[in-house]
Amino acid sequence: MLNNVPTLGEILVSYLKVNKSESETDQRKSDIPEMLDSCYDCLTAVCRTSNGRKTLVENQTVSQLCTCYIEANYGNERALEVLQLLGSTSGPKIWKKNEKGLHHLLDFLCKKFSESKELEKFTYCDKLSNILTSVSTDFIPKNSHSWPQDLVKTLVELICCQLGQKQRESTLILVSVVAESLGIEFLIPPNTSDNRPLLLAVNLCSVEIGMLFPFSPIEQILEKVHLLCGYFSLVENTIKFLVSSEEGPPLDANQIIQIHSCLKETVKCVMIFLSDTAKADNSLKATDPLIQACVRLVGMWMREERESLEEEISQLLPVLLTFSEDLLSLVEEEKLTPDNVVVLTFLFEGLCQLGSDREGRELLLRYRAHIPLGQYLLQGLNQLHQTDENTQLCVEVMCDLLVQLIESDATMIASEPLYISVMHKLSQVLSNIVFESESVSLGAAVSLLGLNLLQLPLLAKELEEDKQQLFLKTVIIFLSRVHVLSTGSTKSNKLLISEDYLPHWEDISTYWLSAMHVLSACVSVHPKLIVTQLLQSGWIPRMLKLLHLVQKASISSEISSAYLDLLYAIADAEEMAKAILLEGEGVSVAKKFGYSKLQKILEQ
């Protein structure tokens, strides 16, 4: 059937004016609509498979369907249905090779939206919502099409009108879709005369949510899931808009207070609903779209504005953690794929923000958040080889938070068997990326977390020795490649950051220093293991040579202390290490930097 897709499109375009032809017999006329219906049936079936959708996009069928909707006398609604189905499953990529067709379609729909009267206007409102869900800001034309102006003008008129319930719902959903697909900026000056339409739309959404949450019967709420998800989307995009600009949003002080208060009350209603739902005996599960939309909104609020509802967030935390564990369990059981639980990204970003201060970390540990956090990190580590920069950034942030939790309560982390699996995976990931210059930031975060876990005796004793050796070997490679000496006269040797690390040094310098200090601390926990790996790596002689030759003025006290602390730790732990330091430049290095502890232990 896929080979016939171009033919199907050509047939539809060939019979755009079928009902106006007077040369055909009545019998012929009755056959053609049936044939066109069959073509649409085939295209609908093709649209339900990934290969079929790809074929529709590649063969210009999308543009042909746009033409059919605009110009056909028969079947134009069928054409729009196929476009909507294709857009809902494939998103913006359907327009990459069909941009001209998209703009013709939007020109037509927006013009009809602007010109139509009474209830017909809201029919086009719904059609625009469906199409615009598959459009992104990349497709906004630069003054070459009139549809953006027509869309905004008519939408603003509707927002500012008194509407019936159904009409208000259609209008707010279109506002939400425009904000999601084209950006909140589409709804403010210079596209509008002032900020009033945006403020009014957000307020209306908040009122609609407040009328349902948290006290309406669950059956009534479930009937409005589609609407609620749309309203939540507008609230989320408004929150992002308020915090995204370094100079602040283009609103005056009173408008900011007004919109913030509105958003705060909305999120509070959603929190109460989640709390009540967790206590109630109903059929709502973690996989329900409504629950996921609620958690996503709360997660975003935690990330951006948690201080405004700190007490409510603290009370809701057990519910949020249970939700995350339920979804992560389904992923682990392969009943869901990671792509199906994008909501967790929002939630865990919120949890990371919660863990940015001591009280927040204590709260996370009190409710055993380190378990879902560890599970989520494992999921991210498993996806690294097949996904984008967002996953790498997420893994780095999760590593940071877990390091902070270990510092807050190492015993709780050490007693959780999950972290043995985490340690194994960290070791595997680091060995794969240690020589990749583009993965330096990730390597720094993974190294630091792994060393912090290795430092926990209770956890370390459960790790196989060969896994410990592999991890240490890779960490040593990663840490040892940071510094080099400048070339030239030995009297003017300066400490430099190596080429692979230099672009990332501002971001990873604190990681490197912390990792060096933790490695030194690990020596007392695993003296033989770590000293053996350090000596076998050949790093110690290179380190001594670097410290001996470098100009003292070119190396910061923090960096020199990081090296010297490690040298002291191994000299104090193993006689073999002490002997190697004595054979090298250990004593002169200690004297050069005034490190009396190292000098004393070497001279004993």
How far is residue 550's CA from residue 131's CA, in Å, rounded to a whole number? Answer: 64
Exposure on the CB side of residue 56, measured as CA atoms within 13 A? 29
- The answer on pLDDT for 596 being more than 80 is yes
Average pLDDT of every residue of the chain: 90
Could you report the per-residue pLDDT of 177-195, keeping only the tens digit for each? 999 998 898 899 988 999 9
Q: How much is the pLDDT for 485?
A: 93
Could you report the per-residue pLDDT of 32-42, keeping only the tens digit for each? 888 999 999 99
| Banded pLDDT at 282 (limits 50, 70, 90) | low
The amino acid at residue 445 is A
Work out the angle between the directed axes of helices 343-354 and 310-332 (0-180°, nearest 10). Answer: 130
Handedness of CA 94, 99, 105, 107 (dihedral sign): positive
Q: The tokens of 328 are what? A: 């992560």
- The answer on pLDDT for 339 being more than 90 is no
Regarding predicted confidence, which is higher, 26 or 514? 514
Could you report the per-residue pLDDT of 536-564, keeping only the tens digit for each? 999 999 999 999 999 999 999 999 999 99
How far is residue 34's CA from residue 43's CA, in Å, rounded to a whole number? Answer: 14
Q: Which region, left, alpha or beta, applies to residue 584 given φ > 0 means left and ψ of -120 to 50 means alpha? A: beta
| β-strand partners of 483 | 497
Q: The tokens of 313 are what? A: 């967030």
Specify burial of residue 118 (Cβ count, 10 A radius: 0-12, 13-18, 19+): exposed
CB 177 within 8 Å of CB 132: yes
Could you report the per-residue pLDDT of 429-464, keeping only the tens digit for each? 999 999 999 999 999 999 999 999 999 988 888 888
Q: How much is the pLDDT for 25?
A: 47
Q: How much is the pLDDT for 30?
A: 64
Nearest 5°: phi and psi at 247?
A: -90, 0
The amino acid at residue 465 is E
Could you report the per-residue pLDDT of 97-147, keeping only the tens digit for each? 889 999 999 999 999 999 998 889 999 999 999 999 999 888 877 666 789
How far is residue 103's CA from residue 94's CA, in Å, rounded to a whole number? Answer: 13
Residue among 418, 331, 342, 332 nearest 373 (CA): 418
Q: What is the 8-class DSSP label of residue 455?
A: T
SS3 content of the chain, % helix, strand, coil (to 5): 80, 0, 20
- The answer on pLDDT for 22 being more than 50 is no
- Any idea which residue has 């997420």 for tokens? 394
How far is residue 223's CA from residue 532's CA, in Å, rounded to a whole number? Answer: 66
Q: Comparing 3-12, 164-173, 192-201, 276-285, which segment has the lowest mean pLDDT? A: 276-285
- The answer on pLDDT for 386 being more than 70 is no
Residue 425 host element (H or E): helix 418-433
Q: How much is the pLDDT for 495?
A: 94
CB 492 within 8 Å of CB 486: yes
Could you report the per-residue pLDDT of 134-165, keeping only the tens digit for each? 998 888 776 667 898 899 999 999 999 989 99
- For residue 461, the SS3 value is coil
Residue among 514, 513, 497 nearest 505 (CA): 497
Q: Which region, left, alpha or beta, applies to residue 531 given φ > 0 means left and ψ of -120 to 50 means alpha? A: alpha
Q: Which region, left, alpha or beta, applies to residue 292 given φ > 0 means left and ψ of -120 to 50 means alpha? A: alpha
Q: Comparing 17-21, 271-275, 536-540, which segment has the lowest mean pLDDT? A: 17-21
How far is residue 259's CA from residue 184's CA, in Å, rounded to a whole number? Answer: 14
Regarding predicted confidence, which is higher, 332 or 65? 65
Q: Comparing 143-152, 161-170, 392-401, 478-487, which segment has the lowest mean pLDDT? A: 143-152
pLDDT above 90: percentage of residues in the chain? 71
Q: How much is the pLDDT for 142?
A: 65
How far is residue 143's CA from residue 583's CA, in Å, rounded to a whole number? Answer: 75
